[in-house]
Amino acid sequence: MMNNGTMSNVPVRDFVRVACVLARRSGSRQGTGARCVAGFVALCALLAPAAYVVRAAAAPPAMQAYADPDKRFVIAYPQGWKVKRSPGGTTDFYLDDPDEGTTFTVLPAASLKGEMDAAHAFAGIVEDNRKRYPDLRVAGQRQRVAQGTLHGTTVEATLTWTGARRVPMKAWASLGAIKMVGQGRTVITFISYQAPAAEFDRLVPLFSRMLQSLNIGPRK
């Protein structure tokens, strides 16, 4: 976003980077605890995009399976793309540049200090990213209550901005949040994909295939 474009294609990567920084500052943990696994998996199921799921018109590229080494998720991604795992817990699947290019990012779980809904958590990430990308814009943002969870909400939006290489970028991002009431923290999941704005719409069918193949949750 800006480094990755989206939490929105503002380089999704930066949104994720900021989320991880916030998580580390608050002593986040990658595991959420057995008590909230079921609710968290239900929350992740709502992160499928409502806005950008379309049918592919051209022959789709060959895909290959990826299983997270920490058993947090599985996904299918295009052959020829690269994978980058970050210490903060994010995984980037990218074509050219994980920060300023075409990238699909997954943050299975992180813990933020404070109890908040998805819109609040997302707003904080956007605000931090605007310090680096002043022209970052958010469109079509909407929040939903996550059925089957306690205190769970999800938010999704489209973002646009000018990347470090002065290339207009666009991203779609979805953040799910569960308030850990009484514990002073919030567990989040973040998914986004980004690309240069001129290529974004053409790549949506591919991103949608990746999103539909994504399965977040503990693996045996």
1 occurs within a structural domain: no
139 occurs within a structural domain: yes
CB 40 within 8 A of CB 178: yes
Burial class of residue 177 in the structure, from the number of CB atoms within 10 Å of its CB (0-12 exposed, 13-18 middle, 19+ buried): buried
Q: Is it the case that residue 186 has pLDDT exceeding 70?
A: yes
Q: Buried (b) or exposed (e) across 12-38, using 16+ Cβ within 10 A?
A: bbbbbbbbbebbeebebeeebeeebee
Mean pLDDT score across all residues of the chain: 79
Q: Three-state SS for 66? A: strand
77 occurs within a structural domain: yes
pLDDT at residue 204 in the model: 95
Give mean pLDDT, residues 34-39: 41
Q: Is it the case that residue 125 has pLDDT exceeding 50?
A: yes
**Residues 55-102: tens digit of each pLDDT:** 445 567 899 999 999 999 999 999 999 999 998 899 999 999 998 999
4 occurs within a structural domain: no
What is the domain-level CATH number for residue 42? Answer: 3.40.1000.10
pLDDT at residue 87 in the model: 86
**Residues 89-98: tens digit of each pLDDT:** 999 999 999 9
Nearest partner of 76 among 220, 206, 217, judged by Cα: 206
169 forms beta bridges with 161, 196
Q: Which amino acid is at 168?
A: P
CB 162 within 8 A of CB 100: no
The pLDDT-based confidence of 207 (bands split at 50, 70, 90) is very high
CB 208 within 8 A of CB 51: no
Q: Kindly provide the residue ranges of all beta strands, DSSP E only, lying in the chain, ordered along the sequence.
A: 63-67, 73-78, 82-85, 91-94, 103-113, 137-145, 152-162, 168-180, 185-196, 215-216
Range of the domain at 71: 12-54+61-216
The pLDDT-based confidence of 45 (bands split at 50, 70, 90) is low
208 occurs within a structural domain: yes
200 occurs within a structural domain: yes
Least confidently predicted of 49-53, 103-107, 183-187 = 49-53
**Residues 136-165: tens digit of each pLDDT:** 999 999 988 877 777 889 999 999 999 999
Q: How far is residue 12 from each of residues 46, 99, 175, measured CA to CA in Å?
A: 19, 8, 12
d(CA 97, CA 110): 24
The count of domains in the chain is 1
82 occurs within a structural domain: yes
Measure the CA angle with vertex 198, ends 51 and 64; round to 5°.
65
CB 83 within 8 A of CB 77: yes
pTM of the prediction?
Answer: 0.77
6 occurs within a structural domain: no
Alpha-carbon 7 to chain mean position:
6
